[in-house]
Amino acid sequence: MRKRLVTLATFVASMALSYASWAERLTLPETTVSFEAPTGFTALSDDEIKAKYPSNRAPRFVRGNASRGTTIAYEIRPNAIPDSALENAMGAFEQVFTRIIPGIVWKRREIVQRAGQRWIELEATSNAIDTDIHNLMLITPYDGKLLTFNFNSTKEQFPKFERELRTSIDSIRLK
C-alpha cells in the first residue's frame, strides 16, 4: 500500500512539473490580464497576423503553434458591454457570426463564470477558404472596455490541442 502511495505521489508531482514546463504565463500589455499558453506557442509577427486576419479588425496579440494552424488571439477592444447586457450581447454576436461566417455550426453559446466574473462563451466550427475551423471565443467587460480571447484551431489539429487550449482558458486571470 505504501509503495502505491509513493508511486501515486511521484506521478502527481511529475504531472505538476510537466504542466509547469509547458505553460508560459503571458500578460496583456497595460493590463492585469494574464493566461498560460502551451510551450511552443510563439507570437505571430505583424505580417502573419495580417495574413491570418485580413480585416482591419485583426487582433493585436496572437500566439500560435509552429504551423500556425492553432492560435490564441487576445485583445482589449474599446467597445464597452456592461455585465448586465451580456445576454443581449451574446445574442447579437450569435446573429452576426451566423450571418458572416460560412458554414458555422454552434457547439456552445452561454454565459459562464470564469476568473471571478461573467463571460460570453461561444464555441463553433466553420468553413474557411482552405480548411474547417474550430473556435472557442470568450468575451467579457474589462475596465470599461471589452476583453476578447479567440482560441482557434483547424478541425484537423483541434483534437491534438483541445486539452491545452481548454487548460489555457482555465488559466485566465484578470488580477
pTM, rounded to two decimals: 0.84
User: pLDDT band for position 24 (50/70/90)?
Assistant: confident
Q: Which grid cell is 31?
A: 493590463
Q: What is the pLDDT of residues 79-127, one digit of tens each?
A: 889 999 999 999 999 999 999 998 999 999 999 999 889 999 999 999 9
For residue 122, give the 3-state DSSP assignment.
Answer: strand
What distances in angstroms separate CA 144 from CA 8, 60, 72, 76, 140, one per listed residue? 46, 19, 23, 10, 10
Model confidence at 10: pLDDT above 90 = no
CATH topology assigned to domain 23-170: Protein Transport Mog1p; Chain A (3.40.1000)
CA 175 to CA 172: how far, in whole Å? 9
For the chain, domain boundaries = 23-170
- At residue 92, what is the residue type? A
Model confidence at 23: pLDDT above 70 = no
First to last CA, the chain: 42
Which range, of 12-26, 28-42, 99-113, averages the lowest pLDDT?
A: 12-26
